Structure 1
Amino acid sequence: MPAIETSAKKMTVLVDVAKSRKTRFEKKISLFGLIFALPWIVGLLLFHAFPLFMSAYYSLTSYSILESGKFVGFNNYATLFQDKVFWISIYNTLYYTVIFVPLSIVFGVCLALLLNLKIRGQGFYRTLFFIPSLVPPVATTIIWLWLLNPQFGLVNYWLDQIGISGPPWIGSEAWSKPSLILMSLWGTGQAVVIYLAGLQDIPQDYYDAAQVDGANAWQRTKTITLPLLTPVIFFNLIMGTIGALQNFVLPYTLTNGQGTPANSMMFYVMYLYTNGFGYLKMGYASAMAWILFLIVVILTALIFVSQKRWVHYQGKE
């Protein structure tokens, strides 16, 4: 019995030593991990967290970059709700978002389905449709300014050849936002690549089984492809909505920051930028930024709530 007790004590001591060594090793690994992550953590705190909290403070002041400003409470927010251009910018932004995002999803999915067909030159066509998304936004704007020029633009020239009088496009209050939506659809190649990745992730067995049951191409697309592609559509819906609400470069370049004609191209972030860096009303612009943040959070939350009804994940049905 004493020999057994002695052996048990030795085993306990060995286990305790092993645990102690493991704990020291884990602490050392954690320390090294923290050291390697430290540059990112410092960058996050310095360039993201600090400006975030400062913008919240500045939104309650009359800060103008050149002057420190004084505390004004919620006066900036109250003034915003009485600003006509503020409401126009919200309308323009929501108009663009509500129309562009669904169109980009439909266009992107249809294009991805076509590019997923097993045809000769498949890689060439995929590259061809992806290239526009690589073009810098300013260069895209210059190209479309020429294409949609009412007098000598290529689009109106083609329309004239078939007997259709082309619209004034960005020169008209009624056609300016549709023109911008058309330009934005030209750069959906990046979303198409994501849709293609989603299509490749759908198991071929599903199609083979459906084909054995007599399902045609449309039925296979309707009952297999689209339902199993909904997680990817959901992702692009979230990202597309956030991006559309922050639309800035195209309208700013098209109108030189003026939002003309008649403020029909004055988008929310453009007006925010104009107030902050044009009029040096940084407190006012900070208040606009926080309102935009709330709008993005609310819309994103609504999309997340709705996804329970229409997003289908493999293996969860």
Structure 2
Amino acid sequence: MPASIIVNLNTGATMPTVGLGTWKAEPNKAEHAVEFAIKNGYRHIDTAAQYGNEADVGKGIKNSGVPREQIFLTTKLDNPDHGNEVEALETSLKKLDTPYIDLWLMHWPAPLKDGKVDESRDWLDTWKAMEDIFLAHPERVKAIGVSNFSVKYLERLLPVARIVPAVNQIEIHPSCPQADIVGFCQARGIILTAYSPQGSDDSPLRENDVVKRISHNHYVQPANILISFAANISGTAVIPKSVHESRIVNNLKTVDLSGAEIQALFEIHKTGSFRVANPVKMGWGSLGFPDLE
């Protein structure tokens, strides 16, 4: 199967398949990583209000010298900002020093207030507010979407949505393929963006024997196979994260995987599945949220 170069959003816009993720990138490192990535071919940058590095991501984009319109920029509405969508967007635009966001995501369907679940707020109302902003100001928000939405949450959203989410950003890797969500979104024209494609910070999947065997067959690093796993899934983008120059350059390389190779990678979860952004391990349950998985 061929690894895609771009994915087509339901808005008619295109998004580069491989982007630079900036989760956990410290502000002083995020600026250089973004600048370096863009200067070395990246045209898709992903950040979030929650990451605390939007201002430095914006500086990195400016310092790259590449025109803003050539870069696809994603940021996300933070959990405490449910109910304050207009102000949150303005803050993100200001920190990023940009006149518009290419893609604005609801980070989690999880409204928070003072560190606890906000029982007065339904995340569906948040989506409605994001729709209002998108419809009223398409010059400021080019597309809206969601993140960390399971099938259960999408099934609640879609019957009442005026705007079908352009993207659902979720964790996807061979130990967490989330085939149910992938199939659900593919059937409805919702692009998936895969985060943590290498299986977390220490990239344990790079040591997997199946991954290493396939990487040897293609004369690339195991990281390239893990990133290519997502890029070979129809309608899926992928945002590997790094602040190391050599890895940033290497992560942009994808390869075409055979059907047998993709199936072998899919089988990995049967011998050891795990999820990095696990709501249970992250303590969401103690905050009073319903099951987010």
Global fold match (TM > 0.5)? no
Structure 1 or 2: more helix by fraction = 1
TM-score by length of 2: 0.23
Higher-Rg structure is 1
